[in-house]
Copies of this chain bind each other. A is one copy, B any other.
Amino acid sequence: MDDPSHVPAKGTLNITDDEIRESLEGAQLKFQRERGSDVTIFSPRASVMGHHVGNATTSLHWSEHCNELIHRVCSLYPQNFVGVCQLPQSPGVPPKNCVGELERCVKEFGFIGCNLNPDPSGGYWTDPPLSDRFWYPLYEKMVELEVPAMIHVSASCNPNFHTTCAHYLNGDTTGFMQLLTSSVFKDFPTLKFVIPHGGGAVPYHWGRYRGIAIDMKLPPLKELLLHNVFFDTCVYHQPGIDLLFKVIPHENILFASEMVGAIRSIDPETGHYFDDTKRYVDALAGFGAEKRQQLFEGNARKVYPRLNAKLGAAKAPPRK
């Protein structure tokens, strides 16, 4: 019940550096070593952003804690992790309320991007679509700071949607179509979004999207969206990765795994973890050294321009 005399307090997290180290050594760092990746762009876990919980103050305090924890991770392991923040979104609250936390994370913590939840209600889709000017103050700040957003929902509190195997993919598909039918990139030509989980249903239905663009008398998708929209490789079988690289230009694909994420098992058909996505990429036919360099590094440097400053001369510059 609401108590009008209650003053919400942010509280404190009692997590030691050793606890952080222990948590990472047995998971993300272990998988980095085993699977052959080096730097991870690391954000708070999307499924527990929990924007639908409490109110805007709850969301702000929780987001601050989560982002501060990511900052501690990145400070402990500067060679391994670069930070991306969650935003203190709340259903019905204009996203301009997120500008302060985004700016803090980028300017004070050196974060290079953010996660943007297109459905802070957690599965009831009650806020305006990404095409709406409701979102524009946030887009303005993203452009000013040169940070992209990954479009990623949080957990579903709607019993219709399984979080990782329905709501996540629906969020990706929905966000893509909202952008396709919008003038967002006319208004913000340098704004960039990453759509995770290999783009949800989008690449599998690329013909449908090319067709609807023609039906709507829009320019070809490459011209309409592909300067601004990028997909990742979180698709957990070879035929899916093969399709992704067949239909989406490799310049628009960023290497990723949900590590540690939605699917934790080993695929009995291959003997390897489902989410060990590097193996699928390594098995791509005709995917040569230059394209691999773009996928594993160059494209990320292009989409997240602040990555260059973070990694500095310690890493090879992109080849082109």
Residues of A within 8 A of B (CB): 118-119, 123-129, 132, 158-162, 164-166, 169-170, 173-174, 177-178, 180-181, 197-198, 200-201, 203-212, 214-215, 235-237, 239-240, 242-243, 246-247, 262-265, 267-269, 274-275
- Decide if B197 touches A265 in the complex (CB within 8 Å): no
Residues in B with CB closer than 8 Å to A166 are 170, 173-174, 177-178
Given contacts A210-B274, A265-B211, A267-B210, whether A118 and B160 have CB atoms under 8 Å apart is yes
Which chain B residue lies CB-closest to A280? B207
- Decide if A206 touches B174 in the complex (CB within 8 Å): no
List 20 A-B pairs, Cβ < 8 Å: A124-B124, A125-B160, A125-B161, A161-B177, A162-B212, A164-B212, A165-B173, A165-B212, A197-B208, A204-B243, A205-B235, A205-B236, A208-B236, A208-B263, A208-B274, A211-B263, A211-B264, A211-B265, A212-B263, A239-B246
- Decide if A173 touches B159 in the complex (CB within 8 Å): no
Which of A132, A177, A204, A211 has the most chain B CB atoms inside 10 A of its CB? A204
> Other than the known A204-B243, A215-B265, what 8 A-B pairs have Cβ atoms closer than 8 Å?
A125-B125, A161-B177, A162-B181, A164-B208, A166-B170, A169-B173, A201-B204, A212-B262
- Decide if A235 touches B207 in the complex (CB within 8 Å): yes
- Please tell me which one of the listed residues B128, B159, B267 contacts residue A211 in the complex, with CB atoms under 8 A apart: B267
- Decide if B207 touches A236 in the complex (CB within 8 Å): yes
- Decide if B161 touches A174 in the complex (CB within 8 Å): yes
